Amino acid sequence: MAHGVTNREVMAIMESLCDTMEKEKDYLSELDGAIGDGDHGVNMAKCFREVRKKLPESRDKNVGAILRSVGMVVLNSVGGAMGALYGTFFLRLAQEAGEKPEIDLGDLVRMFQAAEKGILDIGKAHVGDKTLIDTLSPAVRALEKAAQQGKSLSDAMSDFEKAAKRGMESTRDLVARIGRASRLGERTKGHLDAGAASCYFILRAFSEGMKQAG
Amino acid sequence: MKKFINDPFHVVDEMLEGFLAVHGRYLRRLESARTVVRADAPVQGKVGVVTGGGSGHKPAFIGFVGKGMLDAVAVGEIFTSPPPNAVFEAARAVNGGRGVLFLLGNYAGDVMNFQLAADMARAEGIAVEQVIATDDVGSGPKEKASNRRGVVGEFLAWKIAGAKAEAGGSLEECRQVAEKVNSYTRTLGVALSPCTVPAKGTPTFTLAEDEMEYGVGHHGEPGTAKIKLMTADEVTEKMTGEILEDLPFGSGDEVAVLINGLGATPLIELYVCFRKVKQILDGKGIKIERSYVGEYFTALEMAGFSITLMKLDPELKSLLEAPADTPYYRL
């Protein structure tokens, strides 16, 4: 690996994440509308508009501080299960990144493992329940594997993104077993889970940003 | 979508501004979070009763803040749980030195955010207990009752736990009585038409002219089944039958009955249904001690209603009869 990922690159990733949520607002709400109440896109967009407002304050801070600030905004802006889950996600990334000025692939593996654990602890969902975990867990496994195989940061992030996408797609055929959609049982089959989709967009933003850095 | 709103992003804040302007005698908004508290909070020496949840259920939740009921409500987006800091600030603002009781419905977002808030409050030395309502028979089988949704039965828990707190009950006593309300309360709902969440702009489900959704909650989510339209008596009989069997309620029981409109069903229809519930209960030797008919916990403009029965014992009866003074419920 040429070099690690710097705070400036993490800032760029956060900015692209804000853009993505704005762009995918209607798509995410449409997915949610099929088996939920249809506001996932708007809530994510609203949340990341708040993130965007706060981002300039983190401009010259370290990676952990940037992610911590994002996590606090996500946790406390729009609420909902997604606020708690994604808030925890960013806060755990931040905790693991600590005060490092730069992060490498090994750091990323630990960061995403910590984020996954945080989400599992608070959300109590498992792979196969038709939630964002179906996107996140396979992505983290792919990242671990790529690191063990000594792949470059860029290749590892490609594996990460592909696994996330496959994971998201897998929710189409699943019956929701947790959350509000679970009350609909079999009626949830045939629809992508909105949380799995928004999680994919988040992970894709990391992957694309890291690939540019690596 | 035809609604009297401005920007869907601002509808909750604009509603709150209006609500506080009308009902400022009862409640005030915190500066630190989107949380409303009883005007005289914190009441020293009294357990604070806190709830919260998504907006879109008017008059729940904020309509029941006041003496004898709720001390604080954390206000979320439409049908979206409030963030943890809103709940945490609620706990701080109403802690009168004897701890705070969180009452919430069994929704993933609410459970997570209240849990995070409880952790934050305890870290500051505030005693917190919580009770999660699961009264909706339509949301899961009896074997998995702890997975069920909390719906309008929560109103009865607010009334009773609020009365217990007002009477000087300890945090543990308030928690216990709220648990009792939950275990003695069963609800079932039906809908004739969906609602439209402003942020989405299209209805949450569609129904043919001759169909109804059975077993709905109060978020405009579809029910457990689409069934053929029935008359008021037929559907009331089906719903009441399932509720009675679930606890079960039986001859000699004393109950409270709550017929709740979901937003677009007129009172005339709710009273028709209440009449049928009374006939059924009379026939089974179940005595109605107290009745509530109206809108307590709505789902925006969803047409539909729910039936709730709560089994009473002397303690629950006396707490139901205790005075309350809130914008939408007075006794």
Question: For A29-43, how does the pLDDT look when each residue is reduced to its tens digit (9 = 90+)?
Answer: 889 888 877 789 988
Give yes or no for residue A179 having a pLDDT over 80.
no
B226-239 pLDDT, tens digit per residue, is 999 999 999 999 99
Q: What does the pLDDT average to over A147-170?
A: 97
Q: Exposure of B268 by Cβ count < 10 A (0-12 exposed, 13-18 middle, 19+ buried)?
A: exposed
The rounded distance, in Å, linking the Cα atoms of A183 and B241 is 21
Give yes or no for residue A198 having a pLDDT over 90.
yes
Whether B116 has its CB under 8 Å from any CB of chain A: the answer is: yes
Residue B9: its chain A contacts at CB < 8 A?
A: 42, 46
Q: What does the pLDDT average to over B31-42?
A: 97
Whether A178 has its CB under 8 Å from any CB of chain B: the answer is: yes
Q: Which two tokens stand for residue B101?
A: 């009781």
Q: Quote the minimal CA–CA distance from B195 to chain A in Å.
A: 9
User: Which residues make Cβ contacts (< 8 Å) with residue B55, sequence separation at least 6?
Assistant: B11, B12, B15, B75, B76, B77, B78, B79
Q: What does the pLDDT average to over A181-194?
A: 85
The rounded distance, in Å, linking the Cα atoms of B184 and B145 is 12
User: In the prediction, which pLDDT does A3 show?
Assistant: 64
Per DSSP, helices labelled H in chain A are 7-23, 25-35, 40-54, 63-76, 80-97, 105-123, 133-148, 153-170, 194-213
CA atoms within 13 A on the CB side of A84: 28
Q: Which two tokens stand for residue B96?
A: 């009168």
**How far is Cα of residue A51 from the mean position of the Cα atoms in its chain?**
14
Q: Give the three-class secondary structure for B311.
A: strand
Instruction: Answer whether A39 sits within 8 Å of B217, measured CB to CB.
Output: no
User: In the prediction, which pLDDT does A1 show?
Assistant: 43
Instruction: Answer whether B84 sits within 8 Å of A78, measured CB to CB.
Output: no
Task: Name which of A180, A174, A164, A165 is nearest A128 in CA terms.
Answer: A174
Question: What is the percentage of chain B residues whose pLDDT exceeds 70?
Answer: 100
Whether B294 has its CB under 8 Å from any CB of chain A: the answer is: no
Q: Are B221 and A37 in contact (CB under 8 A)?
A: yes
Three-point CA angle A201, A205, A211, nearest 5°: 140
Whether B279 has its CB under 8 Å from any CB of chain A: the answer is: no
User: Which residues make Cβ contacts (< 8 Å) with residue B229, sequence separation at least 6?
Assistant: B192, B209, B210, B211, B212
Q: At B310, give phi and psi (nearest 5°).
A: -125, 130
CB-closest option in A42, A46, A123 to B112: A123
Residue A46: its chain B contacts at CB < 8 A?
A: 9, 77
| Cα→Cα distances A172→A34, A126, A187, B34, Å | 12, 16, 12, 36
| The CA-based dihedral angle spanning residues A49, A51, A54, A60, taken in that order and rounded to the nearest 10 degrees | -130
Q: Which two tokens stand for residue A186?
A: 């079999």
Which one of B13, B32, B51, B77 makes the best mutation probe of the A interface by having the most chain A beta carbons within 10 Å?
B77
Give yes or no for residue A4 having a pLDDT over 90.
no
Residue A85: its chain B contacts at CB < 8 A?
A: 112
Residue B25 CB neighbours (<10 A):
10
Q: B168: left (phi > 0), else alpha (psi -120 to 50), else beta?
A: left
| The CA-based dihedral angle spanning residues A108, A114, A115, A120, taken in that order and rounded to the nearest 10 degrees | 150
Indicate the pLDDT class of residue A180, thresholds 50, 70 and 90.
confident
The rounded distance, in Å, linking the Cα atoms of A47 and A67 is 15
Instruction: Answer whether B82 sits within 8 Å of A79, measured CB to CB.
Output: yes
Instruction: Answer whether A39 sits within 8 Å of B107, measured CB to CB.
Output: no
Instruction: Answer whether B108 sits within 8 Å of A180, measured CB to CB.
Output: yes
Confirm whether B57 is a catalytic residue. yes
Give yes or no for residue A214 having a pLDDT over 70.
no
Interface ipTM: 0.88
Indicate the pLDDT class of residue B85, thresholds 50, 70 and 90.
very high
Residue A191: its chain B contacts at CB < 8 A?
A: none
Q: What does the pLDDT average to over B142-156?
A: 95
Q: Residue written as tokens 């755990």?
A: A92
Q: What does the pLDDT average to over B103-124?
A: 96
Instruction: Answer whether A39 sits within 8 Å of B77, measured CB to CB.
Output: yes
Q: Exposure of A60 by Cβ count < 10 A (0-12 exposed, 13-18 middle, 19+ buried)?
A: exposed
Q: Exposure of A92 by Cβ count < 10 A (0-12 exposed, 13-18 middle, 19+ buried)?
A: buried
Whether B144 has its CB under 8 Å from any CB of chain A: the answer is: no
Q: What does the pLDDT average to over B275-285?
A: 98
Pairing verdict, β B254-261 and B211-214 = unpaired
Chain A, chain B: beta-carbon pairs less than 8 Å apart: 105
B163-212 pLDDT, tens digit per residue, is 999 999 999 999 999 999 999 999 999 999 999 988 878 888 889 999 99
In the DSSP assignment, the letter for residue B325 is: B
CB-closest option in A38, A76, A83 to B200: A38
Residue A80: its chain B contacts at CB < 8 A?
A: 76-77, 80-81, 109, 113
Residue B231 CB neighbours (<10 A):
10
Average model confidence (pLDDT) across chain B: 96
| Cα→Cα distances A107→A10, A66, A85, A110, A147, Å | 13, 16, 21, 5, 10
DSSP string, B114-161: HHHHHHHHHHTT--EEEEEE--BGGGS-GGGGGGSPP-THHHHHHHHH
The rounded distance, in Å, linking the Cα atoms of A62 and A9 is 11
Residue B80: its chain A contacts at CB < 8 A?
A: 39, 43, 78-80
